[in-house]
């Protein structure tokens, strides 16, 4: 299997897992506050990857480089995940998956600025189709305001922007580091933000009753949607140009919105279907280019 194919499959698998994540996190956050849940995810993710790092006997990252990785992790796992979870709590699982699907639109210019990647006409057309599809579905000037989802959607857009920045930085830094080791340290970078805000949250909103279902959801989010999915996502950006790897993110809204409608009874309007067609059009166009 070529690096291009393995990178593409890794990105698609990660994005699909995050589509499932929005549905699970929406349910879990009815019991566990957002940043408490983020902290749980990061600890479980770091612990899971640490087991593999120790078993593989990978060399320790030099101390002078650890701070750089922690700062990248702060952007991705502290700031971005925090906005993502709050946005999902204030909005719907379907909107959560759809709004953050604008990430590839942010990846393209950021990758051009930081990595010097070319912005081709084909990539612009693909991103335009998919981004317009997201806007049609979310409708920030229409139904989202009427339903009181504007604040949540704005948080989700911020999550998409900061996640795009994180992803481009991953592409830059994993040229020198093992992806598994990098991912483990990056998780730790998000803890200062999540722990601080998580402690504050507990003074405002105590944790509810932890059923076996909720505990299972936390484990799923931490091990599968964090450790596994983040490793796959970082692998995609190691092997592919950031602008191309970012396009795999469009698998996320289709999975997340479909499961949100099926399991959480989120409403799927005609605008959702039309927007979904545009998103698929963008994916197919980019696939044709590649």
State mean pLDDT over 205-224: 93
Cα(242)–Cα(252) distance, rounded to whole angstroms? 17
Q: Tell me: the pLDDT tens digits for 152-203?
A: 888 888 998 999 999 999 988 887 778 888 889 999 999 999 999 899 999 9
Q: How many structural domains does the chain have? A: 1
Please provide the average confidence, as pLDDT, over all residues in the chain: 82
Q: Is the pLDDT of residue 142 over 60?
A: no
What pLDDT is stored for residue 146 in this prediction? 45
CB-based contacts of 186, cutoff 8 Å, min separation 6: 69, 70, 72, 73, 76, 77, 170, 230, 234
Cα(283)–Cα(123) distance, rounded to whole angstroms? 10
Q: Tell me: the pLDDT tens digits for 82-111?
A: 887 788 778 776 676 667 777 887 888 899
Q: Tell me: the pLDDT tens digits for 217-275?
A: 999 999 999 999 999 998 988 888 887 788 788 777 777 767 777 776 766 677 777 87
| Token pair for 207 | 């944790």
**Residue owning tokens 């709590």:** 89
In percent, the amount of the chain with pLDDT more than 90 equals 27
**Which residues constitute the domain of residue 196?**
3-289
The DSSP 8-state label assigned to residue 52 in this structure reads: H
237: closest CA among 169, 181, 163? 169
* Angle value at C-alpha 14, between 277 and 226, nearest 5 degrees: 135
């Amino acid at each position: 299997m070529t690096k291009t194919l393995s990178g593409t499959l890794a990105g698609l698998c990660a994005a699909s897992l995050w589509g499932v994540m929005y549905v699970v996190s929406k349910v879990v956050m009815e019991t566990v506050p957002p940043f408490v849940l983020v902290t749980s995810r990061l600890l479980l993710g770091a612990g899971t990857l640490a087991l593999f790092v120790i078993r593989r006997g990978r060399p320790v990252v030099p101390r002078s480089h650890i701070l750089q990785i922690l700062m990248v992790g702060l952007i991705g796992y502290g700031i971005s995940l925090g906005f993502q979870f709050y946005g999902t709590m204030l909005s719907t699982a379907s909107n959560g998956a759809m709004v953050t699907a604008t990430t590839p639109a942010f990846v393209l210019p950021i990758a051009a600025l930081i990595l010097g990647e070319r912005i081709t006409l084909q990539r612009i057309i693909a991103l335009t189709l998919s981004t317009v599809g997201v806007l049609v579905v979310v409708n920030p000037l229409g139904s989202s305001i009427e339903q009181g989802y504007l604040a949540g959607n704005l948080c989700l857009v911020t999550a998409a922007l900061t996640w795009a920045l994180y992803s481009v930085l991953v592409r830059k830094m994993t040229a020198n580091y093992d992806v598994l080791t990098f991912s483990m340290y990056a998780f730790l970078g998000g803890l200062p933000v999540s722990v601080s805000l998580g402690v504050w949250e507990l003074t405002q909103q105590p944790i509810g009753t932890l059923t076996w279902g909720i505990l299972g959801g936390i484990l799923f989010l931490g091990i599968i949607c964090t450790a596994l999915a983040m490793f796959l996502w970082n692998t995609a950006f190691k092997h592919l140009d950031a602008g191309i790897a970012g396009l795999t993110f469009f698998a996320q809204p289709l999975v997340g919105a479909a499961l949100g409608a099926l399991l959480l009874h989120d409403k799927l309007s005609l605008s959702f279907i039309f927007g979904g067609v545009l998103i698929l059009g963008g994916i197919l166009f980019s696939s044709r280019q590649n």
